[in-house]
């Protein structure tokens, strides 16, 4: 069998599309013909390379778009969904604006001072029987 | 009907997208054509389809050819459109080789290697004889071999 006839069978050979008789014919020829053997090797290499091409995944955006077209549009559910979404957002807004930040009230410092140093301007907290009284007066000029 | 489309998408998206991407070799274009393909699918009476796989590829194939026709018209109006350098550089030699193939040889190699269809299925989709599939595949592989410098 001549080379051109065998060449026609090389693609179906590597694709597993030949009959048993044809496979035998190709294999016999290849044992004797370097050119056809080379061509067969190249075809096999090309097959591997094409199969090795990385096909990217379609993006999520396009998937959503297509599925979105296909999904039934339930307007009743949409209204419920958008109403509850708006209510939720409104509640969140009210909570955020209405919230007063907690500021810890500073407890006035307390001091003990000598009883005889007491003046009418001093805020007396607790008068003791001893020489000292408990006051908020920090001192300084009054 | 609508839910069926969603099921078809889940089941066949890789198969259809693989074919479209193989044909146009550009992600953005392939995604647009995938969308166009599904719009056509949605408008069709899918209950009457016997061989879904073959029919989907036929729809995708028509969409790709429509796109090429539109592009050709555009290119006739704008003859100096240049491709982005980055798009060209990122491609493998084999992808560049496929790009150079004529549409008839390109589709046969994509259907065989990317979609992994047998000769009979390819012949059905392309509406040609099995002998034509064999000879086109041989020619495609020889041209690829030449473009790879083999």
Nearest C-alpha of chain A: how many angstroms from B141? 6
List chain A domain ranges: 3-51, 107-142
Answer yes or no: do B24 and B56 share one domain.
yes
Answer yes or no: do B14 and B47 share one domain.
yes
pTM of the model: 0.69
Answer yes or no: do B8 and B74 share one domain.
yes
Residue B15: closest CA among chain A residues belongs to which residue? A55
Q: What percent of chain A has pLDDT over 70?
A: 78
Nearest C-alpha of chain A: how many angstroms from B134? 6
Q: What percent of chain A has pLDDT over 90?
A: 34
Answer yes or no: do B33 and B107 share one domain.
no
Answer yes or no: do B38 and B89 share one domain.
no
Q: Which residue among B29, B54, B81 closes a domain?
A: B81
CATH code for the domain in which residue B50 is found: 1.10.1740
Q: Which of B122, B147, B96, B60 is nearest to A53 (CA)?
A: B96
Answer yes or no: do B77 and B103 share one domain.
no
B100: contact with A, CB 8 A cutoff = no
Could you give the 3-state DSSP secondary structure of residue A135? strand
pLDDT tens digit string along B74-121?
776 655 555 554 444 556 788 889 999 999 999 999 999 999 999 999
Q: Which residue among B64, B81, B98 closes a domain?
A: B81
Residue B119: closest CA among chain A residues belongs to which residue? A17
Confidence class for position B1, pLDDT limits 50, 70, 90: low
pLDDT tens digit string along A21-64?
999 999 999 999 999 999 999 999 999 999 999 899 999 888 88
**pLDDT on residue A17:** 95
pLDDT tens digit string along A119-142?
777 777 776 667 777 777 766 554
Q: Which residue among B28, B47, B81 closes a domain?
A: B81
Q: Is residue A108 scored above 90 in pLDDT?
A: no
Answer yes or no: do B59 and B93 share one domain.
no
Chain B interface mutation, best of A11, A47, A72, highest count of B Cβ atoms under 10 Å: A11
Answer yes or no: do B71 and B91 share one domain.
no
Structure tokens at B108: 């046969």
Domain extent, residue B108, equals: 84-150
Answer yes or no: do B68 and B112 share one domain.
no
Structure tokens at B124: 């059905």
Answer yes or no: do B62 and B127 share one domain.
no
Our count of domains for chain B comes to 2
Q: What is the mean pLDDT of residues A13-25?
A: 95
CATH code for the domain in which residue B109 is found: 1.10.10.10
Answer yes or no: do B122 and B65 share one domain.
no
Average pLDDT taken over every residue of chain B: 87
Q: Is residue B54 scored above 60 in pLDDT?
A: yes
Q: What is the mean pLDDT of residues B1-29?
A: 88
Residue that has been written with the tokens 């479209």 in this structure:
B20
Q: Is residue B25 scored above 50 in pLDDT?
A: yes
Q: What is the mean pLDDT of residues B1-18?
A: 85
Q: What is the mean pLDDT of residues B24-44?
A: 93
DSSP secondary structure string for all residues of chain B: -HHHHHHHHHHHHHHHHHHHHHHH--HHHHHHHHHHHHHHHHHS-GGG-S-HHHHHHHHHHHHHHHHHHHHHHHHHH-TT----HHHHHTS-HHHHHHHHS-HHHHHHHIIIIIS---HHHHHHHHTS-HHHHHHHHHHHHHHHHHHTT-
Answer yes or no: do B9 and B75 share one domain.
yes
């Amino acid at each position: 069998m001549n080379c051109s006839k065998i060449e026609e069978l090389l693609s179906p050979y590597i694709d597993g599309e030949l009959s048993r008789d044809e496979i035998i014919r190709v294999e016999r020829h290849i044992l004797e013909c370097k050119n056809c053997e080379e061509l067969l090797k190249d075809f096999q290499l090309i097959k591997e390379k094409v199969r090795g091409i990385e096909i990217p995944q379609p993006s999520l955006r396009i998937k959503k778009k297509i599925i979105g077209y296909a999904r039934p549009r339930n307007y009743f559910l949409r209204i419920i969904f958008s109403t509850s979404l708006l209510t939720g957002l409104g509640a969140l807004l009210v909570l955020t604006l209405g919230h007063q930040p907690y500021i810890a009230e500073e407890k006035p410092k307390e001091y003990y001072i000598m009883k005889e140093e007491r003046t009418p301007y001093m805020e007396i907290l607790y008068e003791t029987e001893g020489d000292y009284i408990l006051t908020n007066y920090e001192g300084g000029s009054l | 009907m609508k839910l069926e489309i969603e099921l078809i998408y889940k089941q066949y998206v890789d198969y259809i997208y693989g074919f479209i991407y193989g044909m146009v070799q550009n992600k953005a274009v392939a995604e647009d054509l995938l969308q166009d393909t599904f719009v056509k699918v949605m408008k069709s009476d899918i209950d009457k389809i016997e061989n879904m796989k073959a029919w989907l590829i036929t729809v995708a194939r028509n969409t790709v050819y429509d796109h090429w026709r539109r592009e050709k018209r555009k290119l006739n109006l704008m003859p100096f459109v240049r491709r982005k350098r980055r798009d060209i550089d990122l491609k493998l030699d084999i992808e560049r080789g496929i790009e150079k193939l004529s549409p008839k040889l390109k589709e046969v190699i994509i259907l065989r290697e990317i979609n992994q269809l047998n000769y009979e299925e390819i012949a059905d989709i392309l509406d040609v004889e099995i002998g034509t599939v064999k000879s086109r595949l041989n020619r495609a592989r020889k041209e690829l071999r030449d473009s790879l410098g083999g």
